[in-house]
Amino acid sequence: MTAFTRCVLPAVLACLLLPTVAACQETKTEPKTPDVIFVPTPQAVVDKMLELAEVDDKDLVYDLGCGNGIIVVSAAKRGAKAVGFDVDPQRIKETQENIAQNKVGDRATVMQKDIFTLDLSKASVITLYLLPSLNEKLIPQLQKLKPGSKIVSHDFAMAGVKPKKVVKVEAPDREHTVYLWEAPIVVDENEKPADPFE
């Protein structure tokens, strides 16, 4: 072994590699903390949500906060293209497994993304099981949906936006509510509940 390979070469390699390693470490970020915990929608409620939104093979369905992927898989089984979004790596893994087990990988996928950073304009159906405050926070993004696109929400309304339909669904655990809206959605400030801190 020459002095070059013993001393100079390792030093040169270290100089080349160190900035790359440092850059990788700098860009590694922790996943965002979920804004709401995971609670799955029962299958009977999922079926009613997709039925109300008339999901079929012409649709592109986005489930915002997809949990274990039950909505994504069910939409894909109706022939739609479906994308689930979640910030929790465990939920992403469960959705990937659910998609694989149900063999709908040609139509369904999942992405680890914060729903408040998404461009929703390509979706024809949006499904939600979040919280009233999170539905309200999504309004500016939902206002960019194409006319005729549908939004369905499990259990939670959207302050100031009148639904087209509200339907009750019996599931094994309790009675659930499903809200349907059609784009373009219009916010009526008079319909908003009074702010208790004003």
Ligand X SMILES: C[S@@+](CC[C@H](N)C(=O)[O-])C[C@H]1O[C@@H](n2cnc3c(N)ncnc32)[C@H](O)[C@@H]1O
Footprint of ligand X (CB under 6 A)? 34-36, 38-41, 63, 65-67, 70-71, 85-88, 91, 114-116, 129, 154
118 vs 161 by CB, closer to ligand X: 118
The nearest distance, CB 70 to ligand X, in angstroms, is 5
Please state, as a whole number, how many other Cβ atoms lie within 10 Å of the Cβ of residue 182. 15
The nearest distance, CB 142 to ligand X, in angstroms, is 15
The nearest distance, CB 120 to ligand X, in angstroms, is 13
Alpha carbons 141 and 150: distance in angstroms, whole number: 13
Q: Which two tokens stand for residue 32?
A: 């965002």
Alpha carbons 20 and 158: distance in angstroms, whole number: 46
Backbone angles phi, psi at 166, to 5 degrees: -130, 125
21 vs 166 by CB, closer to ligand X: 166
67 vs 163 by CB, closer to ligand X: 67
Q: Which two tokens stand for residue 116?
A: 């408040």
Report the residue number whose CB is nearest to ligand X: 65
Q: Which two tokens stand for residue 136?
A: 């309200």
10 vs 137 by CB, closer to ligand X: 137
The nearest distance, CB 105 to ligand X, in angstroms, is 19
HSE toward the beta carbon, residue 44, CA cutoff 13 A:
11
Alpha carbons 92 and 115: distance in angstroms, whole number: 14
